[in-house]
Structure 1
Amino acid sequence: MGEKLKVGLACDARYMDRGIKDHEVETLNEFATFEWREFTESSDWYSPPISSEDVVADFIDFASGVDAMVVCHGSPRVTPEILDATPNLRLIGELEGDRFAQRIDVAACIERGVKAVDTTHASSLPVSEWALAMMMMGLKKVGAHYRRMIAHEEWGTGYQRVHHPDFQMMGDLTGRTVGLIGGGNIARRLIELLVPFRVDILVHDPYLPRELASAMNFTMTSLKNVMSIPDVVVCLVPHTPATEGMLGAKELGWMRHGAVFVNVSRGQVVQSDALIDRLRQNDIYACLDVFDPEPVPVDSPIRHFWNVFLTPHIASTVDGTGISFFGEMIDELRRFHLGHDTKHDLMPRTLANRRGESPGDLDAVR
């Protein structure tokens, strides 16, 4: 394999303790040297960290000794200044479980030929699994039946039970039509999980090339069609300037009687008041892992609707044996070291998405 890749990790002590497993470091050491340095910069998913000159100088000193730098919570932003001062850097990796973290100046990396990757896809498996579970729970109106059970209500037997109004909107998933708003990593994994159910899948995503629809056997179409035709609509879009409040009264009004709405992406893409008003009509069912704001206010009407099943943003949450963003990053680093293409590059379309723009060079449905 030749000379080992020199890898650095810049993050706070909390992430190092909770997010980096010993066996993963052992795996990395098979083909790389590894060094961690603690940084404690404050940041969030929507704005970059602002660092002092001393912190930047410390980061440059650290990055000057490695080929690949992995950043996460606590790291300063990788800026043009830092990249110009560290010509040895060939790869920057983001461990944040959100493709829109702001710790890497992706445009500056592209201009300088530095590869930028992230591990957003690591959470795709559990989120897609929870989306599938919510789809089935919505079709069975699990929330309403659970509320009846804990309220000690009688539901009858035989003819009485089957003809109760709440049972008239129940159904299975097999053979249904499913609409996906967003066609990223989570959607693609969900499409794989849906194969045994023989569903028809409609997708709205202005960033997808048409070739993907043929390869994965789904139909690309308008947002109106995705909202109005399917039995189940699943919201999977990230929160960007373009998707902020994209589903309002008009869009939710397109949903047909008895349809199920699932949201496992971000609460901010749905106008909460409009969703509450739509649910008050009691002719659709919603399964929501996210809401705006979070946590759901204790006095919010949505807590009391029987046609709603709520969970507290748990879709990506797993125990220690589950997903590992660092483990996924190790796979990318190994591919890079071996001269293979990396799988999860941050590219110009990522920047366009962050700005809420549709990349005009993509042959996609607008």
Structure 2
Amino acid sequence: MSSTPPRPRALFAMGRRHRDALFPSAAVDRLTRLVDIDPHVVAEDFAPVPHLAAVEILITSWGCPPLDDAVLTRMPALKAVVHAAGSVKHHVTDACWDRGLLVSTAAAANAVPVAEYTVAAILFANKRVLEIGGLYREHRNALDWTARFPGFGNYRRTIGLVGASLVGRRVLELLRPHDFDILLADPHLDPEAARSMGVRLVELDELLAASDVVSLHAPALPETYHLLDARRLSLLRDGATLVNTGRGSLIDTESLTAEALSGRIHAVLDVTEPEVLPATSPLYSLPNVLLTPHIAGSLGGELLRITSSALDEVERYCSGREFAYPVTRAALTTSA
């Protein structure tokens, strides 16, 4: 007589408010059919959590404490970390890789709304929607927009993507139906791979000088800190728009502020350095700058896409299959 194998023991490790947002009752019901978990226990700090020794799967998200040697010593049965968010750099340590833990991420799911925001920003930038909307609000009558913005519009504009990340690749897919010329700069990509993606690989300086809109999708690494400094920002053509949904540290904020104050370029910034900018920053009020408070990523109902991805990964693990979205130690050296 066969018996049903025991379900693996799992634990939520994240900020409680994130657990509540990511795992409504329907998601918890699906999860409890897959694993043995107390949905009311959420580890924001591992120190007070009892019975860690039996935990086989950690379901993590924003606010998960670091999984260092001391924590892993208390979890000898731990085999997998399923991250219901994007980057795992904040909690997956070298000790996890040394243990040989399996790690999964929902970064691909989180990339979707970021890419959607980016494409909307690109289309609005070329159409000068923000500037025209502001002028229309002030004057309350139609002006000669073609005379005011000669050549505006999206046809045959050149879009430069910096970084072939998950978001960068998703942006590329969403841009395909439009009549754009697309350039890509990424030091970790070879020309053949770029051609297979339908884009032309160029050096960053060439991309900056040739693009009507530049969108940043590079990771925050030591070599990408202030990737766009004063010299590179000066390469942007007059009237170009810079979109940053990546990391604030990619841009030298002081140099960008100077360029924006001159009125020479436009910017759409969902991330900044620092985040939040000082209240005195001119970037808040400049008509050629749109600041949003880090909203491009998954929020509201979009969080359920992340939940679905994480639950799919838990199901794959429980059925003995490989993760669809695994993370490796090597991959983290060139990712966000």
The TM tier, using the shorter chain, reads 0.7 to 0.9
Aligned CA-pair RMSD? 2.7
Worse overlay, 211-220 or 266-275: 211-220
Contact 1:178 1:233 (C-alpha < 8 Å) held by counterparts: yes
Give the match's secondary structure for 1:197.
coil
Instruction: Measure, in 1, the Cα distance between the counterparts of 2:109 and 2:51.
Output: 27
For residue 123 of structure 2, the aligned residue among 136, 143, 147 is 136
Matches within 5 A, 1:44-63: 55-56=46-47, 58-59=48-49, 61-63=50-52
The answer on 1:162 being equivalent to 2:146 is yes
Instruction: Measure, in 1, the Cα distance between the counterparts of 2:16 and 2:261.
Output: 46
For residue 279 of structure 1, the aligned residue among 260, 274, 282 is 260
For residue 153 of structure 2, the aligned residue among 166, 171, 174 is 171
Letter in 2 for 1:92: V
Closer/same/farther in 2, CA of residues 218 and 19 from structure 1, 3 Å limit: same
For residue 126 of structure 1, the aligned residue among 106, 110, 113 is 113
Size of the alignment, in residue pairs?
332
Letter in 1 for 2:90: Q
CA offsets 1:99-123 (integer angstroms, 9 cap, x no match): 1542221x32222221122222332
CA offsets 1:239-296 (integer angstroms, 9 cap, x no match): 3333222211111111123322111122222111211222234333222222233334
* Structure 1 counterpart of 2:241: 260
For residue 18 of structure 2, the aligned residue among 12, 15, 18 is 15
Give the match's secondary structure for 1:69.
strand
Closer/same/farther in 2, CA of residues 6 and 137 from structure 1, 3 Å limit: same
Give the match's secondary structure for 2:37.
strand
Contact 2:88 2:105 (C-alpha < 8 Å) held by counterparts: no
* Structure 1 counterpart of 2:90: 102
Instruction: Measure, in 2, the Cα distance between the counterparts of 1:153 and 1:330.
Output: 50
C-alpha deviation, 1:5, in angstroms: 3.5
Instruction: Measure, in 2, the Cα distance between the counterparts of 1:303 and 1:288.
Output: 10
Closer/same/farther in 2, CA of residues 212 and 161 from structure 1, 3 Å limit: closer
* Structure 1 counterpart of 2:197: 216
For residue 240 of structure 1, the aligned residue among 215, 221, 239 is 221
C-alpha deviation, 1:320, in angstroms: 2.8
Letter in 2 for 1:231: D
Letter in 2 for 1:99: S
Contact 2:213 2:242 (C-alpha < 8 Å) held by counterparts: yes
Instruction: Measure, in 2, the Cα distance between the counterparts of 1:98 and 1:193.
Output: 20
Letter in 1 for 2:92: I
C-alpha deviation, 1:317, in angstroms: 4.8
For residue 314 of structure 1, the aligned residue among 261, 283, 295 is 295
For residue 35 of structure 2, the aligned residue among 32, 36, 39 is 32
In structure 1, runs of 5+ residues without a counterpart are 42-54, 357-366
Instruction: Measure, in 2, the Cα distance between the counterparts of 1:143 and 1:62.
Output: 55
Instruction: Measure, in 2, the Cα distance between the counterparts of 1:181 and 1:253.
Output: 16
Matches within 5 A, 1:339-350: 339-350=320-331
Instruction: Measure, in 1, the Cα distance between the counterparts of 2:243 and 2:302.
Output: 27
TM-score calculated relative to the size of structure 2: 0.87
Letter in 2 for 1:64: A
Contact 1:63 1:69 (C-alpha < 8 Å) held by counterparts: no
Letter in 2 for 1:175: R
Instruction: Measure, in 2, the Cα distance between the counterparts of 1:253 and 1:343.
Output: 42
Q: Percent identity?
A: 26
CA offsets 1:305-349 (integer angstroms, 9 cap, x no match): 332233232212532365443332111122222333313322223
Instruction: Measure, in 2, the Cα distance between the counterparts of 1:151 and 1:292.
Output: 31
* Structure 2 counterpart of 1:67: 56
* Structure 2 counterpart of 1:48: none
Closer/same/farther in 2, CA of residues 345 and 212 from structure 1, 3 Å limit: farther
Contact 1:127 1:315 (C-alpha < 8 Å) held by counterparts: yes
Closer/same/farther in 2, CA of residues 170 and 11 from structure 1, 3 Å limit: same
Letter in 2 for 1:24: A
Instruction: Measure, in 2, the Cα distance between the counterparts of 1:207 and 1:99.
Output: 19
CA offsets 1:29-87 (integer angstroms, 9 cap, x no match): 3333323423333xxxxxxxxxxxxx44x55x533223211233554321234434534
Matches within 5 A, 1:195-214: 195-208=176-189, 212-214=193-195
Give the match's secondary structure for 2:92.
coil
* Structure 2 counterpart of 1:334: 315
C-alpha deviation, 1:187, in angstroms: 1.0
Letter in 1 for 2:267: A
